[in-house]
Chain A
Amino acid sequence: MLLNGSDIVSEVLLEQGVDTIFGYPGGGVLNIYDSFYKYRDRLHHVITAHEQGAAHAADGYARATGKTGVCIATSGPGATNLVTGLATAYMDSVPMVAITGNVGTGLIGRDAFQEVYIIGISMPITKHNFQVRRVEELADTLREAFRLAHTGRFGPVLVDIPKDISAAVTEFRHQPPVETPRTVRESYPGLETVAEAINGAKRPFILYGGGVRLSEAGEELRELIRKADIPASYTLMAAGVLGYGERNNMGLLGMHGCFSGNKAVDNCDLLINIGSRFSDRVALNMSKFAANAKIVHIDIDPSEVGKNIRVDYSLIGDVKDVLTKLLPLVKETTHPQWQLQIDAWRVRDYHPKDDASVLKPHQVIGTICEMAGPDAVYTTDVGQHQMWAAQYLHHTGPRNFLTSGGLGTMGYGYGAAIGAEFGIEGRHPVIHITGDGSFHMNLNEACTAVSYGLPIISVIFNNRVLGMVRQWQTVFYGKRYSSSEPERKTDYVKVIEGFGGTGYRVTDLNGFREAFAKALKADCPVWIDCEIDREERVLPMIPAGCTSADTIMD
């Protein structure tokens, strides 16, 4: 059938199984929005306050559902406002397709109104990007974008559509949705050697990361841990892949990870990295990291092998498939002595002290967990609250903790919560844990939550300072608090009421409990402003470039 480019966009989105798009209209995409009007009974377009919110919403939708998230923005500033969202998704391997409008092909390169070279700008923060120059190529380009985003190591793909292309007419034929099957191989070179290394290890340790979550390999990981009796810690991207309190699941690793896990890394004789990229927040000192161990690296992306840490063995492939092939070669065993040593370190793990008269971060998070139930979806911004959430939430599911790990994007959480709400369709509470610093970056998206009746609960850890910046200034910069105490006077209750939601301000745990109970029943966004002492720090902490021997515990 003959269709214009805009209807082709709608048709291909439907063809790929997309029903929700996050975006913001503007001149460059008016044709496409006209098509969205026509397709409005089948394609649900969510308008955010800002394109960055739309990008984070598409990202949150993807992380919460496992599907590819879609966002759209107009040319120029619309496109540049997506940039932080694209970079966030790229660093955390989130499958996303971003569509941008552009000026007509005849105006490209002439500094036309709202023209920007988004292909050049987004090159290093997307898996790939396309500018469609002929309407005949539009449908297949969009299909290829969906294929790339959800193949191999997932990531964002951008498709830039000049305005005349979205108006031009061509023949369109339906196709089945692109299939992105996981890569399955007969066997992997070095598989036996790795199995032997695991079977021969006296003090094995597993570090698992986002790759396990993305390949949905939680079961296989659990079986490896059980069969070979290997203690394991996770990176920020893998919180919830194994349940809280599961045997051998020791908690977060790295800069603010648990003491016992970091100690185990430094003392193990075999470190098995499954789907993590040895980031500098985990391998804090790349030359001393797991210095006494042989290192195995299992990853889908060959460029991650040897990028940060020299490894002894590598298995390149889809984590689920690699583990499936590895498991039969691994012997059932136990490591009682090593476990005894781990237990001894666990006794020394950091435990903050309770105090009911003020709001202690760990108690607030404990209360949230207890009241919100195991299926709640959490999003965070970036800073102290993010680390407290990572440390103290009882993570229960691989898609329940959405946080910007790689890029560390303050302002990620609210957009992500909007995306998650649409993804899980209100089945479970969506809780946005934030700090007063991060929240000021994108709290404008509360208007979106109000428009769509999304009962997102924002718990604001309000210490009236930029807590993580200030913590570093306390420890490393002689308490010279440069620009970290902005003295804001924001009245969060009034602000959210102004947007059309509900707010509470609490100063102790009972007050928080009451407010949170009301929030769980609300049908609009709720903000809970929690007064936190500005001297609260995230502990333990290993300074950048150090090892577990340098852990700061108080």
Chain B
Amino acid sequence: MSKHFMVIIVKNNAGVLARISSLFCQRAFNIESLTVSTTDSPLISRITVATSGDDAYFEQLRSQTLKLSEVLEIYPVDTDSTVIRELLLLKLRVTDQNRDQIVSIAESNHARVLSEQDHCLVVEMTADPTTIDLFIELMMPFDFVEMCRTGATAIAKGATSFHPDSISK
């Protein structure tokens, strides 16, 4: 079992996300996180899915997903040659005693305080998912009010691109 990020390039049609998630549910493929958004081409959307399994699992996931007629391409993200980023928003209740300590931990970990209101801080961190996991762990002793994270999105380093013209299907 290993965790991988898969990038799925799809036609930007109504319901395309429903088709992907229906397939994943139908075939018992797990979703640890999923992000979707439009791209610089209005016809194309891009989905990044984090999922875990063995080699056979990923081969099935790839070939089954590619059968959907609105899926143009699917490929695994190689962590060495790809930039993977996720956004964390963390709301913490602070006291006069621990406020400065929290701000200092956040800043030393390249997180930013976006708001401070009603004794609550909203902290933002953009990083790879593992770093975010570690940061959350670090903040655990404090008083969490709410937390959300976006799931990862990824883009390859270097000149590689996945534009409609370069798509094989």
Please give the residue numbers on chain A whose beta carbons come within 8 Å of chain B beta carbons, in ascending order. Answer: 119-120, 123-124, 127-128, 148, 301-303, 305-307, 310
Contact of A301 (CB < 8 Å), options: B23, B56, B67, B68: B67
Return B126 CB to nearest CB of chain A, in Å: 34
Query: Does any Cβ of A come within 8 Å of B15's Cβ?
Result: yes
Chain B residues contacting A127 (CB-CB under 8 Å) are 69
User: Are the CB atoms of B64 and A303 closer together than 8 Å?
Assistant: yes
User: Are the CB atoms of A123 and B22 closer together than 8 Å?
Assistant: yes
Please name the residue on chain B nearest to A144 by beta carbon.
B69
User: Are the CB atoms of A303 and B18 closer together than 8 Å?
Assistant: no
Contact of A303 (CB < 8 Å), options: B19, B22, B63: B63
| Chain B count of residues within 8 A CB distance of the other chain | 16
| Distance A208 CA – B105 CA, assembled complex (angstroms) | 65
Please name the residue on chain A nearest to B64 by beta carbon.
A303
Query: Does any Cβ of A come within 8 Å of B117's Cβ?
Result: no
Return A351 CB to nearest CB of chain B, in Å: 41
User: Are the CB atoms of A307 and B19 closer together than 8 Å?
Assistant: no
Known: A123-B18, A124-B23. A302 touches B69 (CB 8 A): no
| Distance A366 CA – B56 CA, assembled complex (angstroms) | 45
User: Are the CB atoms of B26 and A124 closer together than 8 Å?
Assistant: yes
Residue from the set A123, A127, A128, A310 with the largest chain B CB neighbour count within 10 Å: A123
User: Are the CB atoms of B18 and A120 closer together than 8 Å?
Assistant: yes
Please name the residue on chain B nearest to A133 by beta carbon.
B14
| Distance A306 CA – B59 CA, assembled complex (angstroms) | 8
Contact of A119 (CB < 8 Å), options: B15, B23, B56, B70: B15
Chain A residues contacting B39 (CB-CB under 8 Å) are none
With A124-B26, A301-B67, A303-B64 given, can you name 9 additional A-B contacts, CB distance below 8 Å?
A119-B15, A123-B19, A128-B68, A128-B70, A148-B69, A302-B66, A303-B60, A303-B67, A306-B60
25 contacts between A and B (CB under 8 A): A120-B18, A123-B18, A123-B19, A123-B22, A124-B22, A124-B23, A124-B26, A127-B69, A128-B68, A128-B69, A128-B70, A148-B69, A302-B63, A302-B66, A303-B60, A303-B63, A303-B64, A303-B66, A303-B67, A305-B63, A306-B56, A306-B59, A306-B60, A307-B60, A310-B56
Q: List the 5 closest A-B pairs by CB distance, nearest first.
A: A303-B63, A128-B69, A302-B63, A124-B26, A303-B64
| Distance A128 CA – B11 CA, assembled complex (angstroms) | 13
| Distance A307 CA – B27 CA, assembled complex (angstroms) | 11
Within 8 A of A (CB), among B87-105: none
Return B38 CB to nearest CB of chain A, in Å: 19
Please name the residue on chain A nearest to B55 by beta carbon.
A306
Chain B residues contacting A303 (CB-CB under 8 Å) are 60, 63-64, 66-67
| Distance A148 CA – B69 CA, assembled complex (angstroms) | 9
Return A205 CB to nearest CB of chain B, in Å: 24
Chain A residues contacting B66 (CB-CB under 8 Å) are 302-303
| Distance A104 CA – B86 CA, assembled complex (angstroms) | 41
| Distance A307 CA – B68 CA, assembled complex (angstroms) | 17
Within 8 A of A (CB), among B14-40: 15, 18-19, 22-23, 26
Please name the residue on chain A nearest to B69 by beta carbon.
A128
Return B10 CB to nearest CB of chain A, in Å: 13
Return A147 CB to nearest CB of chain B, in Å: 10
| Distance A123 CA – B66 CA, assembled complex (angstroms) | 15
| Distance A87 CA – B57 CA, assembled complex (angstroms) | 24
Chain B residues contacting A310 (CB-CB under 8 Å) are 56
Chain B residues contacting A302 (CB-CB under 8 Å) are 63, 66
| Distance A220 CA – B69 CA, assembled complex (angstroms) | 30
Return A74 CB to nearest CB of chain B, in Å: 22
| Distance A123 CA – B21 CA, assembled complex (angstroms) | 11
| Distance A124 CA – B23 CA, assembled complex (angstroms) | 7
